[in-house]
Amino acid sequence: MDSFIKSQMCVFRHGNFSLDLCHPDSVSKPLVYQTRAFATENSGSNFSIISSSFWLNELEFNFSIQHNLHKGNNMKKNTTALVRKANKALVLTTIKDNEPITLEDVLKITNLSRPTAHTIIKELMDDKLVYKHGYAESSGGRMPILYCFNATAHYAIGVDFEFPPVRLIISDLKGKLIHSKGWVFSRNVSKEKVIDDLLHGIEEIIIDSGISKEKFIGIGVGLPGIIDYEKGLSKNIERIANWHNVNIKEILQKRLELPVYIRNDVHLLGLIEKELYQGVNMSNFIYIGIRAGTGMAIFINDTFFKGMMGNAGFLGHTIVESEGPNCTCGNKGCLETYTSELAIVRRYLEAANLGFSEENDNLSVSDIIEKANENDPLAIEILESSGQYLGIAISNLIKILEIPTVIIGGLVDTKKQIFLNSVIQEANKNLLNYSIDTPFIIKGSLTHESFALGGCLLVIDNFNKAPFLRVHI
Ligand SMILES: [Zn+2]
């Protein structure tokens, strides 16, 4: 598949079928590739030629051509419907990314025929997703109509279920934050109470926003722990007692009657960082989220690597000290027993011989960073040694993946950046004489308020999604 991205044209063959995919220079969205597909007539079936522009928005194509090859005329019917749907997504994305835009410019960008594009724009206006917005200057003749994308036609709900903190966001179709709320659970809360509060929280944010329920297109949830994203299952969150095989998707869908999508929480944070960072090559990068736990998203060729069930990047539970502190996962010396926000607080309290108490229970990682900024030697020592452990993990990752850009998000380590500097120093030390000897390690730009935006982006991405084609090669 790599060769497909890098070359202008590839030919995939399976039996007596061939498909030519052109990758034009005018790719505007990283996850979306404009292609022109031709399926050639072959002797083994009634398969007809399809020749049309359409979007493929991942590197795997989700529609089995081989399967349909043997269905004769159904292939043509299925393909026509798919291409129409894909073309609609193509025109919508084009208007969204280039508004205000004339029909002429839509034609230039999409290569669609005038009648097709004209019909689609009319349909999109009927759907209230596109509206007319004045006229462009005329180069002789009638002034062309300008079209805009209606970002407030629908809304998405994003949930960042970090736990103990939970954050909710409502965004419009361009990911603009409209409304947000959040709360922090107490440490010993029951599973039932967590679910109940989450359902109430989402119902409340819908009511508080004043937006009618019909305008919402879905809920995107970022979850820690182990998930099965296709089944919508939160298999395990160690920080919540008895939290095993909770079908978050089913629970939310049943009560709120909206489509629900789940992903690893840190994968979604990485997705927002990718949207936010400008001027940095973000096709390939590693995102590490220092939160209640420690997670990671690996972006390769503009998309994050999900893994089989959506758990790739379980960095926090890689073991760095075989006789280290007990981890919630049952092992000892996992990375996050040194680097997570909860671990940094715990290490500080242990080193100061304080232990958890009602008073110290409220001590947060921000308090420890503040102490370090005020030259508290113990706070500095804890942040530096936690940073060292992460620096070791990052240098190992860079040696495995040869990706030089690393974004560290979550931990708000501003001012003196003691933690971040320690990470960089340790990683650089361990990468001497390696192909990447000075990695580009930077701080994430997300604030706590924007953490749940990734869930909104997930919903919007599904809403805009064009049909897929899966090609077996
Ligand atoms: Zn662990």
Q: 2-150 and 280-444 share one CATH topology?
A: no
Class in CATH terms, 2-150: mainly alpha
| pLDDT for residue 337 is more than 50 | yes
Q: Are 147 and 101 a contacting pair, CB within 8 Å?
A: yes
| Average pLDDT score over residue span 14-41 | 33
| Average pLDDT score over residue span 69-97 | 69
List, for residues 210-252, the tens digit of each pLDDT value: 999 999 999 999 999 999 999 999 999 988 999 999 999 999 9
Let me know if domain 155-267+453-462 sits in CATH 1.10.3720.10. Answer: no
Distance 226 CA to ligand 1 centre (A): 12
List, for residues 250-272, the tens digit of each pLDDT value: 999 999 999 999 999 999 999 88
Let me know if domain 280-444 sits in CATH 1.20.1090.10. Answer: no
Distance 222 CA to ligand 1 centre (A): 20
Q: Going by C-beta distance under 8 Å and a sequence separation of 6 or more, which residues neighbour residue 155?
A: 170, 171, 172, 173, 178, 209, 211, 215, 216, 217
Output the pLDDT for position 302: 85
Distance 23 CA to ligand 1 centre (A): 43
Alpha carbon 138 to chain centroid, angstroms: 41
Distance 338 CA to ligand 1 centre (A): 11
List, for residues 91-143, the tens digit of each pLDDT value: 998 999 999 999 999 999 888 889 999 999 999 999 999 999 999 888 778 89
Number of other residues whose CB lies within 10 A of the CB of residue 318: 16
Distance 446 CA to ligand 1 centre (A): 25
| Average pLDDT score over residue span 368-397 | 95
Output the pLDDT for position 276: 74
Output the pLDDT for position 189: 92
In 114-154, the DSSP E strands lie at 130-135, 145-149
Q: What is the mean pLDDT of the chain?
A: 81
Burial zone of 48 (CB within 10 Å; 0-12 exposed, 13-18 middle, 19+ buried): middle
Output the pLDDT for position 440: 92
CA gap 257, 211 in Å, rounded? 16
List, for residues 141-177, the tens digit of each pLDDT value: 889 999 999 999 999 999 999 999 999 999 999 999 9
Distance 248 CA to ligand 1 centre (A): 23
Distance 329 CA to ligand 1 centre (A): 4
Output the pLDDT for position 10: 32
Distance 344 CA to ligand 1 centre (A): 15
Output the pLDDT for position 228: 96
Output the pLDDT for position 412: 67
Output the pLDDT for position 437: 82
Distance 254 CA to ligand 1 centre (A): 33
Output the pLDDT for position 71: 41
Distance 234 CA to ligand 1 centre (A): 17
| pLDDT for residue 334 is more than 90 | yes
| Average pLDDT score over residue span 292-300 | 93
Distance 414 CA to ligand 1 centre (A): 27
Output the pLDDT for position 78: 54
Q: What is the DSSP letter of 81?
A: H
Domain map (residue ranges) of the chain? 2-150, 155-267+453-462, 280-444
Distance 331 CA to ligand 1 centre (A): 5
Distance 321 CA to ligand 1 centre (A): 11
Type of residue found at 157: I
Distance 294 CA to ligand 1 centre (A): 10
